[in-house]
A = this chain, B = another copy of it.
Amino acid sequence: MSGARRLRALFHPQSIALIGASDNSGWSLGTFNNLRDHGFPGRVHLVNHRAAQVHGEKAYRALKAVPEPVDLAYVMVPTDAVLPVLREGAGLGIGTYVILTAGFGETGSEGARREEEIIEFARERGLTVLGPNGNGFINAAAGITPYGLPIPPPLLRGPVGVVLQSGGLASSVLSFAQSRNIGISLLVSMGNESMLSVADIVRYLVDDPDTKVIALFLESVRQPAEFAAVARLALAAGKPIVALKVGRSDKARHTAQAHTGALAGDDNVVDAVFRQLGVIRVRSLEDLIITAGLLARGPLPGPRLGVVTPSGGASEIIADRAQDEGLELPAYAPETVAALAAMLPGFATVANPLDVTGYVVVDRTLLGRALEIVTGDPGIDAVLLLAELPRDEPADPALARALFGATARRVAASPRPVVVVSNALTDITPVGRAYQASTGYPPVVGGMEHGLSAIGAAVRWSRAYRDAAAAAPESSSLTNVPGSLPSARTAPSGSPGISVTDLPGTPPAARTSPSGALSRTDLAGSPPPSWADLPRADPPGAGTGATGVWAEDRAAALLASYGVPVVPSHRVDDEDAAVAASVAVGYPVVIKAVSGAIAHKSDVGAVRLALADEPAVRDAYRAVRNAARAAGAGDAGVIVQPYRTGGIELITGVVRDPAWGLVLAVGLGGIWVEVLRDAALRVLLGGPIGPAEVRRALGELRGAAILRGARGIAPPDLDRVADVVARISEVAIGLGDRLESLEVNPLLVRGMQVEALDALVTWRG
């Protein structure tokens, strides 16, 4: 049976056995009541090996005593009894199980062993298991609710699929959705995800016709590659995923040897990968449901909002929030202004946001008529109407119904999406729900604060959706299908170990080929191997177990061998050689000690800059050797390089995130990374990223203005920068699974010249 059919079977049982049903268990009673109260159309069988009656109904002593076929076993027995239940069920041909019982992997290694045991059995016998340690699911669309915690009535059916890694939140999510009159299709509490993962359920929901949008509560993404693959499917299918991912407060991970590790803290990586995958990240339960509810109605075509309100104060709140969300409130077109001016009272000011004034108290049609005019404005993408549903039965229900009906018709006839937003976040009451139902009034988004968050998110998702549809092959991280995940597990041999590297310091201006891909002669004098060409062999030393850190000379040579432009560098063994090398590269020069034992050379005095003549070079040679010795690096190597001044220092690094794999970080050097931690991240899920995506990443930096040429600094050639950074991401992927991090810091940019001045590679070991 295919995965989709197995899940369909799991979520659509026609009979359910509650195994371990007991009057003493809140879970048992809750599940039984849920099935009864929310209209499960099939049969419920109670199994208790001691009691003949549970919850006032007949109970069976064993599963095999149940006289009818059972589709789904809902298992609440003690931990030790779970495997026997599965055995019995498998013997009876029961294929699908929800295991509520805890005491498995979440409790430690002994529990993990037990969990492994039951899942191995389930796999062998072809059983489908949700859980263990999960509360089950709520198939609202079909009225099938085997769920262990209370489901607040009424259970509203609707377009939102919900997947929770914390089943305890289900009641809150359902209550809140209900208060917004937002219905759900299917809610699943994942438990330990031993067989079925979040990605599996999302994949099911992507294909589920009852589900228009998917809302996730995530503590951790346990199967990142699968999650990424299914997120891409969802985006391609136009089904938005909205996620509340907790753990923002976790300490950023620090990798000792590279700055990049600190920049790419776990939570920043989550932000980056979600953005790359078109997953909308929200920070509250309210935003999760409100945003999902809005997106269930389809994309929003663009950021230009026309706003219609009956209040100046509310208009200003909306203007502030719109700016927060990157939304625009363009001036209305002349014809819109003229029509509004003709219709509104003389003391009204026609502007966007529009305040039709308190005169609505006198003429209650004012707001609807203004809405109709604004929906015709050619310069806006969507309309925000600030309006309230009645909370209690109004004094004149017929008039109210007529007004709501008129607005509903205007919204339906509008050539642009209309989003109705209430002032503050209060429940849509049963009276309000009834008015919506009877007048066809559109959904009302809950309050300006969360409403503008949702509109902002919807606009961003809609853009990601369009971009994904239109994506060039270049943006591989978004459009690659799961099967194309890179399998490069090896690294080049031979090329590192070169002791003197002398790549041209000022390579010819390199241009990208029309496709945006690197051409073979782009970066240096010699044609670089392309990523796909990288030889498949262990990096030198890996075979002998040597790991740790490759300091500047080896790292730079490695980069140079793959066409990354690197500052010319001569390794020298004595003072005379240092002087000769200085003459060769031209004064002034830099002298550095290089050793895997010294990650931050300048901190230990192992770098001397701006050496202008022979005596300075001789002094410096001795000084850095001594400094390296003092730092415990023994007889470190010494290199001579030309001294570069001016330009802009970038940092480019690729570091391995424990969940998401290689992550590229680019940022400006100096205080930008050291104090501000200003870096743009891209997770290399789908392979290296292209130059166009690098340019987008650079544009996200807080210091992006520097790159556009701040006062007194020549603007760098960003196409060239993007080529080099993209190349670095290629090289990192090509280095395979043993790579921990690859960092170029600084990458110096002077106009068209882009050059790695220093580099560091660390290997896992």
Residue of B nearest to A358 (CB): B168
A225 on interface, CB distance cutoff 8 Å: no
Residue of B nearest to A363 (CB): B26
Are B448 and A347 in touch, CB under 8 angstroms?
Answer: no
Q: A168-B312, A447-B286 are in contact. Are A248 and B671 (CB under 8 A)?
A: no
How far apart are the CA atoms of A209 and B24 in the complex, in Å? 52
How far apart are the CA atoms of A285 and B447 in the complex, in Å? 9
> Of the 9-residue stretches A13-21, A159-167, A722-730, A736-744, which lies at the interface with chain B?
A159-167
A416 → chain B closest CB, angstroms: 23
How far apart are the CA atoms of A285 and B426 in the complex, in Å? 11
How far apart are the CA atoms of A703 and B319 in the complex, in Å? 30
Are A165 and B361 in touch, CB under 8 angstroms?
Answer: no
A104-159 contacts to B (CB < 8 Å): 106-107, 135, 148-149, 152-153
How far apart are the CA atoms of A392 and B219 in the complex, in Å? 31
Query: Inside 8 A of A324's CB, which chain B residues have their CB?
Result: 248
Are B311 and A168 in touch, CB under 8 angstroms?
Answer: yes
Query: Inside 8 A of A176's CB, which chain B residues have their CB?
Result: 423-426
A25-40 contacts to B (CB < 8 Å): 25-27, 30
Q: A168-B312, A312-B166 are in contact. Are A285 and B423 (CB under 8 A)?
A: yes
Are A248 and B285 in touch, CB under 8 angstroms?
Answer: no
A573 on interface, CB distance cutoff 8 Å: no
How far apart are the CA atoms of A392 and B37 in the complex, in Å? 15
A734 on interface, CB distance cutoff 8 Å: no
Are B152 and A391 in touch, CB under 8 angstroms?
Answer: yes
How far apart are the CA atoms of A448 and B388 in the complex, in Å? 24
Chain A window 623-638, contacts with chain B (Cβ cutoff 8 Å), 1 for yes, 0 for no: 0000000000000000
Are A172 and B427 in touch, CB under 8 angstroms?
Answer: no
Residue from B217, B249, B313, B347 within 8 A of A320 (CB atoms):
B249
Are A710 and B675 in touch, CB under 8 angstroms?
Answer: yes
Q: A249-B322, A319-B249 are in contact. Are A172 and B361 (CB under 8 A)?
A: no
How far apart are the CA atoms of A441 and B680 in the complex, in Å? 48
A283 on interface, CB distance cutoff 8 Å: yes
Are A311 and B249 in touch, CB under 8 angstroms?
Answer: no
Residue of B nearest to A704 (CB): B675
A604 on interface, CB distance cutoff 8 Å: no
Chain A window 680-722, contacts with chain B (Cβ cutoff 8 Å), 1 for yes, 0 for no: 0000000000000000000000110110001110000000000
How far apart are the CA atoms of A424 and B169 in the complex, in Å? 10
A676 on interface, CB distance cutoff 8 Å: yes
Q: A26-B361, A426-B176 are in contact. Are A311 and B169 (CB under 8 A)?
A: yes
A512 on interface, CB distance cutoff 8 Å: no
Residue of B nearest to A355 (CB): B168
Are A361 and B149 in touch, CB under 8 angstroms?
Answer: yes
Q: A424-B285, A426-B427 are in contact. Are A316 and B247 (CB under 8 A)?
A: yes
A721 → chain B closest CB, angstroms: 18
Chain A interface size, under 10 / 10 to 19 / 20 to 34 / 35 or more: 35 or more
Are A285 and B448 in touch, CB under 8 angstroms?
Answer: yes
Query: Inside 8 A of A705's CB, which chain B residues have their CB?
Result: 675
A421-450 contacts to B (CB < 8 Å): 422-427, 429, 447-449
How far apart are the CA atoms of A321 and B135 in the complex, in Å? 26
A487 on interface, CB distance cutoff 8 Å: no
A255 on interface, CB distance cutoff 8 Å: no
A321 → chain B closest CB, angstroms: 8
Residue of B nearest to A345 (CB): B102
A597-621 contacts to B (CB < 8 Å): 602-603
Query: Inside 8 A of A102's CB, which chain B residues have their CB?
Result: 347
How far apart are the CA atoms of A179 and B27 in the complex, in Å? 31
How far apart are the CA atoms of A244 and B244 in the complex, in Å? 27
A672 → chain B closest CB, angstroms: 8
* Copies of this chain, whole number: 2
Residue from B27, B362, B388 within 8 A of A362 (CB atoms):
B27
How far apart are the CA atoms of A7 and B405 in the complex, in Å? 44
A397-435 contacts to B (CB < 8 Å): 422-427, 429
A313-328 contacts to B (CB < 8 Å): 313-314, 316-317, 319-324
A495 on interface, CB distance cutoff 8 Å: no
A351-400 contacts to B (CB < 8 Å): 358, 360-362, 364, 388, 391-392
A482 on interface, CB distance cutoff 8 Å: no
Are B424 and A172 in touch, CB under 8 angstroms?
Answer: yes
Query: Inside 8 A of A316's CB, which chain B residues have their CB?
Result: 166, 219, 246-247
Q: A358-B149, A362-B27 are in contact. Are A313 and B169 (CB under 8 A)?
A: yes
Are B27 and A361 in touch, CB under 8 angstroms?
Answer: yes
Chain A window 72-113, contacts with chain B (Cβ cutoff 8 Å), 1 for yes, 0 for no: 000000000000000000000000000000110011000000
How far apart are the CA atoms of A123 and B324 in the complex, in Å? 44
Are B603 and A362 in touch, CB under 8 angstroms?
Answer: no
Residue of B nearest to A323 (CB): B249
How far apart are the CA atoms of A289 and B169 in the complex, in Å? 25
Residue from B172, B283, B313, B361 within 8 A of A246 (CB atoms):
B313
Q: Which of A103, A247, A248, A392 has the most CB of B within 10 A?
A: A248
Q: A311-B169, A313-B165, A603-B711 are in contact. Are A286 and B449 (CB under 8 A)?
A: yes
Q: A172-B424, A312-B168, A425-B425 are in contact. Are A248 and B358 (CB under 8 A)?
A: no
A284 on interface, CB distance cutoff 8 Å: yes
A247-272 contacts to B (CB < 8 Å): 247-249
Q: A244-B317, A313-B169 are in contact. Are A674 and B711 (CB under 8 A)?
A: yes
Q: List 13 A-B contacts (CB under 8 A).
A: A166-B316, A169-B313, A172-B422, A176-B423, A249-B320, A283-B449, A285-B424, A285-B447, A286-B449, A287-B449, A426-B427, A671-B671, A671-B710
Give A residues with C-beta under 8 Å from B: 24-27, 30, 102-103, 106-107, 135, 148-149, 152-153, 164-169, 171-173, 175-176, 179, 217, 219, 244, 246-249, 283-287, 289, 310-314, 316-317, 319-324, 347, 358, 360-362, 364, 388, 391-392, 422-427, 429, 447-449, 602-603, 671, 674-676, 702-703, 705-706, 710-712
Extra pairs beyond A24-B362, A675-B706 (18, CB < 8 Å): A25-B362, A149-B358, A152-B392, A166-B316, A172-B422, A175-B391, A176-B425, A176-B426, A179-B427, A217-B313, A219-B316, A285-B317, A285-B424, A425-B425, A674-B711, A675-B703, A675-B705, A676-B676
